[in-house]
Amino acid sequence: MTTTERTSVEVRAADPEEIAVNTVRTLTIDAIARAHSGHPGAAMALAPVGFTLWNRALRYDVDSPTWANRDRFVLSAGHASMLLYSLLHLSRVKDADGSRLAIELDDIRSFRQLGSRCAGHPEREIDGAIEVTTGPLGTGIATSVGMAIAGKWKAERFNRPGYRLFDYDVYAIAGDGDLMEGIGQEAAGLAGHLELDNLCWIYDSNQVTIEGDTELAFTEDVAARFRAYGWVVEFVADANDRESLARALERFKTNARPTLIVVHSVIGYGAPTKQGTAAAHSEPLGEAEARAAKRHYGWPEDAEFLVPAEAYEAFAEGIGDRGHRLRHAWDNLRESYRQAFPVLSAELDRLEAQNLPVDWDHELPSFTVEHGPLAGRAANAEVLNAVARAVPWLIGGASDLAPSTKTLLTGDAGHFSATDRGGRNLHFGVRESAAAAIANGLALCGLRPFQAGFLVFSDFQRGPIRLGALMELPVVHILTHDSIGMGEDGPTHQPVEQLASLRAMPNLIDIRPADANEVVEAWRVILAVDRSPVALVLAKQDLPVIDRSRFGAASGLARGAYILADPSDGVLPDVIIIATGSEVSRALDAWEQLSAEGVRARVVSMPSWALFERQPEEYRAEVLPPEITARVVVEQAAAFGWERYAGTNGAIIAMRSFGRSAPAADVQRFFGFTTENIVAEAKGQLS
């Protein structure tokens, strides 16, 4: 028998809150049973934790889920997704446009099915309801640090005496796996250093992982570790003790540092033979065990997707009523603020609407041949600072590499710290993984973040970069030292396969500029993009500034690839040389030599595969006419993937091994990145 509504008479519990908690548990059991897959144990154990957090602490308006000062909730333990879906449904959270509930009961019934809003792990497709896409452990809690930083920065930027516009808190539920992952440890260390007192992690300590008891691999004193990080640590001995958790959450509000609440739970609570074991982690309970668990909760054993009226009422009297009052009071404050501080208010309006200031690019530099040679990272330093002066909410930093990546914001930008919440330079320390996730958190709160490091170390960041692409976040990943031009630092620091790896990622825009003016145009593209992260890949070594009076305008970068040089008579060329980044100037040198020898050649600068693939077929055929099969590709990175542009018979001058430790010119010569070799390959295409 399938039912969707019953009265409390049929549910053996006098307490409406307990009915609500058990509704979360039984919806979890039923959804996973119907899907024949899922992770029931954590959601069953954490049902009272989720209920208490949402109804006793979380400041959130279910009718206005994108309210700017809402508390943020991150389910870092994303495998427990049914906990989040149940909370969203029972609290009746609406879509951002108010047209429907974010999660209907039918969505839960179709858990893990094609097209369902209830995916296997939470996906940020519903604004304000699911704040963060989670699943890869550790990444959610790391992202929450960025959200907390954003809250502090906004408060410093916009709050005024009597106008406390921003004071939201960030809550994240983490499991044992989150705290084992290195990215989580990186983020926790930085959060403690920054004294982010608006950050609360709730640690579900159930001592069980997929392989079995955590004693197999995880025996450290978590509380001692977090105290060493500079956190306040609270304890709740039993996840079912809602009052103890509520008191811990109240104390968090008064703590001067981030808070870790260690909650001891029993995974799969209520399932008589599977609770407390790995069997409850990641598979349906089975019919007999599910019936027994419902019996333990005082639930009708034959009911499926049962939601008693009391469950809805408990949430309405908790998060519902409180959230409405808080948001309406904030709206009134915001309107008064608009009158009292019109300039700041207008800036905040633009930030929230993701609209750039008028004429934001008015002071972008332009470069002439006389400015060169100039390294990509050095040109970017000038452009980045020009952008930062025009866009006050551009914020970011490097993983202890700002002097090398040239990404320090100058002037009055300041340095974000425990004592300067308005600083725009972030210092992540040597924490590349956390840096990328924190940047995602900043973007989730409306800021325009960048994070910088060496291209080779983007390997450490692939997880959060990937999630940023999945969430469509406009984060700028500035990746310098982009090739074997690193020279003496050797193959450990010379990126080879990283570009191909980044280009393979859906919804990530790759940009590898050829000179300083392409860097300028890259930022015009970056600031216009609002639903994709960008990997801005820059050279360490000096590059000539291309003479744009002779060759194609750098504005062609916006289309991903463009004709830089062509035969002088306007007739189609015999051979096309395609190059990116630092190799473009070498390609132009080869073009000069070929032209002098009577060879009709074209040079195409292709700074971005992603942007080029977005162009109409007619434009792509204009730049790379399919009938011209004599082609040479030049890039100091892996050859992988270049066949799509070189064609079946084209030549590819690229890396097919790791690099070497030697002066850059010697390394480049050793691997064939010379004008002479490009000329020879071009001629070979015509023979």
Q: Which residue has the tokens 């440890």?
A: 185
Active site residue 432: yes
Packing angle of the helix pair 139-158, 432-444 (nearest 10 deg): 50
- Is there a contact between 482 and 519 (Cβ–Cβ < 8 Å)? no
Q: Which residue has the tokens 């600072």?
A: 385
Report DSSP letters for 439-467, one per residue.
Answer: HHHHHHTT-EEEEEEEGGGGGGGHHHHHH
CA distance linking residue 552 with residue 637, whole number of Å? 24
Report DSSP letters for 518-547, one per residue.
Answer: HHHHHHHHHHH-SSS-EEEE--SSEEPPP-
Residue 7 CB coordination number (10 Å)? 9
SS (H, E, C) 263-323: EECCCCCCCCCCCCCHHHCCCCCCHHHHHHHHHHHCCCCCCCCCCCHHHHHHHHHHHHHHH
CA 208 from chain centre, in angstroms, equals 28
Q: Which of 432, 518, 521, 635 is catalytic?
A: 432
- Is there a contact between 248 and 232 (Cβ–Cβ < 8 Å)? no
Give the DSSP letter of residue 495.
Answer: -
CA distance linking residue 492 with residue 457, whole number of Å? 10
How is residue 37 written in tokens? 């897959």
**Residue 202: phi, psi to the nearest 5?**
-105, 110
Environment class of residue 623 by beta-carbon count within 10 Å: exposed (0-12), middle (13-18) or buried (19+)?
buried
Catalytic residues: 432
